Structure 1
Amino acid sequence: MAAAVTVSMTRFKGAGDLPAQVFDPARLAAVYATGLLDSGPEAVFDDLAHLAASVTGAPMAFVTVVDDRRSYWKSVIGLGELGIAERQNAAEASFCHLVVAADGPLIVTDAATDARVNDISSVTRMGIGAWAGYPIHAPGGQVLGTICAVDTAPRAWNDQEVRTLATLARAITGEIALRQAVRQMSVQMDDLRATSRQSQALARSLQDSLLPPVLTIPPGLEAAAAYLPAGHGALVLGDFYDLFPVGPSSWCAVLGDVAGHGVEAAKVTALARYTVRADASRHFSPAQVLAQLNTALIAQHVIDQQFLTAVCVIFRDQKSAEGAGVTGVLSTAGHPSPLIRRADGQVEEIRSKGAILGVFPDADLGSARFTLNPGDALLLYSDGVTEAHPPQDGAAMFGEQRLADLLAACHGLDAAQAVEHISHTVLDFCCHDSADDIALLVLRVPGAPSALPPHA
């Protein structure tokens, strides 16, 4: 890491030269509402800035918040240890005001010759040779600042580096939105504590914000998911799932379960989703994705008893003698093993080793390969399924064998129908009063109709 640098607030240009967007009252109100100005470093932002520097190979990276006077460095990588007063420069001395004005990325390959920035004082004061940054936004869409990578020499930024910065910007935007949602919800829940139904609605709203509003379905596949809150849904718990593309023909599916409940569980869930999304596109290794998540959880000093189990699957299209299908790799971290229902009704358990995340520096993660041919279906689920039990009999759990039999009996059902059938069966078993959240995600290759199970 470079030695600490004292950054002068001397203005090269006058404040009157700043674009009008910097002074927009709605934008400034959104900046102040974050509470990030003049606040100390936090692991969640430092982790993302470190990732920006690591992916791009740049010696410096920043997460900034820009008001009408200065660009405040909420996270700064590469300038050593800085006090609060040193973590800033004047708005006109920063490239960030150009991002605010454009509400879009700024990619500079040679700062000394780029007419957009070569008269900005930080080019010489901070030795900027190249700069690449993306805007971070408030929930209302206003530009709050940037995440940027900075090199001391001119350089080109490749497409993968630029895409990663865009992903990290979205992750920071989500973190800020979650914080504001949590603060707003805390105030509302204090006001509405006496009204149980309203409190339940607020809790469910926060839980829903941690899940994709619409499940993106890979081309040529069926996909469906369900989240069933425990009890009456009055608590925010930590089950989550996600499904998203990581390349032209590659996809990532993840399903996890955070121990505990409430705001702390929601924060861990959000960190997990954004970390997986930021890292999954970098390599075809779910074990590495979960290892990166483990590192992020430990770096954020997750509170005692707040850990995470997860299964991560990365897969791509493939052709076989049977026709179209998928081939993939999965990794589990202290999580129930996924099940595959073959087209002939046979059910297979796909095992890989791995410890819970957020506790041990090395989660000892393994991986397992699998192939889905036409008619095959992959089921990811949380332990709320197998541990479901009637309210008056905690020992009579739904269990793994009953789940395997239920999946085998999903003859002729597509992914959505299978999820609905499993959900209804489990809820009926526990009298619609589950003790733990339930999450399900099914991927199925359409084609050959599913055969009847052997015992049918």
Structure 2
Amino acid sequence: MTYDPTGHLLLTPVDKDAPERARRLRALGLGQRREPDFDAFAHRLADMTGAPVSMVNFIDEERQFFAGLHTPADAPGAAAPAVGPVGRSMARDHGYCPHVVVRRRALVLEDVYDYPRFAGNPVVDEIGIRSYLGAPLVDRTGVALGTVCVVDTAIRPWGQAGLETIKAMAAELMERIDRRADLRR
């Protein structure tokens, strides 16, 4: 747990399901390596939302791993990105995806500064995140494996259309993951 010493706000949610999630991710072979199919999915998600950064994120007990990642540097002819460096992994106490996984519901932050609980997150200063849109990846056993999400360094009016898009994309990706699990059996 991480607390903001000035406001005593719980910044990273307690995740009692993390051990079960980590076991399920291992069983599915997810969250340990970059996957070109997930990178392509993240690229498509970025195109659909107009966001500069998008991710397919799996969260275990210790970290988040972006098995699918699209950043401005991935775009053909891209100029220097305004967003800070985004690697393939991140600590569990960084970002907003751990909140989505614990809540098991989509999260829309059009301006993270509007929410004191989220404005103090390290990704605001380290990467420059100003807006976030994410939805959980819940498999057919009921385990929230991670998220699909998009972020921007600018305020984004995601609105209802953004929420519907991210939820539909999460459902589409879960169908793919479930089919993949069936093939592994």
Amino acid at match of 2:20: A
CA deviation after TM superposition for structure 1 residue 17, in Å: 6.5
Please list the CA deviations of residues 319-363 of structure 1 after superposition, one character each: whole Å capped at 9, or x if unmatched: xxxxxxxxxxxxxxxxxxxxxxxxxxxxxxxxxxxxxxxxxxxxx
Q: How does 1:235-246 map to 2 (within 5 A)?
A: none
Q: Given that residues 109 and 154 in structure 1 are in contact (C-alpha distance below 8 angstroms), is that contact kept between their aligned partners in structure 2?
A: yes
In the alignment, which residue of structure 1 is the partner of 2:27? 33
The whole-number CA distance in structure 2 between the counterparts of 1:94 and 1:122 is 6
CA deviation after TM superposition for structure 1 residue 146, in Å: 0.6
CA deviation after TM superposition for structure 1 residue 56, in Å: 1.3
* Residues 154/17 of structure 1: CA separation in 2 closer, same or farther (3 Å cut): closer
The whole-number CA distance in structure 2 between the counterparts of 1:164 and 1:50 is 14
In the alignment, which residue of structure 2 is the partner of 1:96? 97
Amino acid at match of 2:138: H
CA deviation after TM superposition for structure 1 residue 41, in Å: 2.6
- The TM-score, its normalising length taken from structure 2, stands at 0.81
The whole-number CA distance in structure 2 between the counterparts of 1:158 and 1:25 is 34
Q: Given that residues 60 and 77 in structure 1 are in contact (C-alpha distance below 8 angstroms), is that contact kept between their aligned partners in structure 2?
A: yes
In the alignment, which residue of structure 1 is the partner of 2:119? 118
Q: How does 1:348-359 map to 2 (within 5 A)?
A: none
In the alignment, which residue of structure 2 is the partner of 1:132? 133
Residue in structure 2 matching 1:69, options 29, 43, 62 = 62
SS in 2 for 1:71: strand
In the alignment, which residue of structure 2 is the partner of 1:51? 44
CA deviation after TM superposition for structure 1 residue 116, in Å: 3.0
- More helix by proportion, 1 or 2? 2
Please list the CA deviations of residues 357-412 of structure 1 after superposition, one character each: whole Å capped at 9, or x if unmatched: xxxxxxxxxxxxxxxxxxxxxxxxxxxxxxxxxxxxxxxxxxxxxxxxxxxxxxxx
CA deviation after TM superposition for structure 1 residue 23, in Å: 4.5
Please list the CA deviations of residues 176-205 of structure 1 after superposition, one character each: whole Å capped at 9, or x if unmatched: 111111111xxxxxxxxxxxxxxxxxxxxx
Structure 1 residue runs of 5 or longer lacking an equivalent are: 1-11, 185-456
In the alignment, which residue of structure 2 is the partner of 1:172? 173
* Residues 70/80 of structure 1: CA separation in 2 closer, same or farther (3 Å cut): farther
Amino acid at match of 1:103: R
In the alignment, which residue of structure 2 is the partner of 1:269? none
The whole-number CA distance in structure 1 between the counterparts of 2:16 and 2:97 is 10
Q: Given that residues 28 and 68 in structure 1 are in contact (C-alpha distance below 8 angstroms), is that contact kept between their aligned partners in structure 2?
A: yes
Give the fraction of aligned pairs with identical amino acids, expressed as a percent: 28
The whole-number CA distance in structure 2 between the counterparts of 1:174 and 1:115 is 35
Please list the CA deviations of residues 267-290 of structure 1 after superposition, one character each: whole Å capped at 9, or x if unmatched: xxxxxxxxxxxxxxxxxxxxxxxx
- The TM-score, its normalising length taken from structure 1, stands at 0.35
RMSD of aligned alpha carbons: 2.1
CA deviation after TM superposition for structure 1 residue 22, in Å: 5.1
In the alignment, which residue of structure 1 is the partner of 2:160? 159
The whole-number CA distance in structure 2 between the counterparts of 1:145 and 1:109 is 21
The whole-number CA distance in structure 1 between the counterparts of 2:26 and 2:11 is 22
Structure 2 residue runs of 5 or longer lacking an equivalent are: 4-9, 75-86
Number of aligned positions between the proteins = 167
The whole-number CA distance in structure 2 between the counterparts of 1:58 and 1:17 is 24
CA deviation after TM superposition for structure 1 residue 107, in Å: 0.5
The whole-number CA distance in structure 2 between the counterparts of 1:57 and 1:80 is 15
1:78 maps onto 2:71 in alignment = yes
The whole-number CA distance in structure 2 between the counterparts of 1:63 and 1:142 is 16
Q: Given that residues 30 and 138 in structure 1 are in contact (C-alpha distance below 8 angstroms), is that contact kept between their aligned partners in structure 2?
A: no
CA deviation after TM superposition for structure 1 residue 40, in Å: 2.2
